Amino acid sequence: MITSIIFIFLDQKVFYNYNQIFENSLEITIPDKTEIHIENKIEEEGILSQWRLEIPKINLNANIQEGTSMQVMNKNIGHFIETSKENGNIGLAAHNRGYRVNYFKNLKKLKKGDLVIYTYKGKSKEYIVNSSEIIKDTDWSKLNKSSVDKLTMITCVENRPDYRLCVQAISKEN
């Protein structure tokens, strides 16, 4: 369930709204009149989820969002909806140059053995890079279901529009 959280600052107080009226409201005194709008994903269980990717070697620490549309990848790393989110093959995509955010700009610097940390619903799991290869843009086999827990990270290849860089990392728990 996606819910918008709207904060409105009026008369030096803030009220929030979850797209419906709740019996309890939050009030905070602030120094001036301001309006802020924040959107968050709230899981069905009612827990605010954390969905992130961290790769220390390339100083990457970014949010992940469902889908791989331009709208998603202009703000976050995208998750291929056909792939798993927790176990098996988790497919991720991001820009690497020429856009507002280019989270995978240094993905090509990763080597076998590099650490990748994936966090979903607040639970982190460590992966180790085991392959980096150039694939055709029509080759989706790297995103196939798998009994092995792995991350598959895909991005464009500079000046080669028919190809993609595919980096895979295997869970340390395998």
pTM above 0.85, yes or no: no
Same domain, 104 and 133: yes
Q: Give the structural domain span for 26.
A: 2-41
Same domain, 72 and 138: yes
The pLDDT tens digits for 111-162 are 999 999 999 999 999 999 999 999 999 999 999 999 999 999 999 999 999 9
Band the pLDDT of 174: cuts 50, 70, 90.
confident
Is 46 part of any domain?
A: no
Q: Is 167:103 a contact under the CB 8 Å cutoff?
A: no
Same domain, 112 and 79: yes
pLDDT of residue 17: 38
Same domain, 28 and 63: no
pLDDT of residue 44: 38
Number of domains in the chain: 2
pLDDT of residue 3: 42
Same domain, 31 and 111: no
Look at strands 13-17 and 2-10 and give their pairing.
antiparallel
Same domain, 11 and 34: yes
Same domain, 71 and 6: no
Distances (CA, A) of 105 to 68, 91, 131, 140, 172: 16, 17, 17, 21, 25
Same domain, 164 and 105: yes
Band the pLDDT of 46: cuts 50, 70, 90.
very low
Same domain, 63 and 9: no
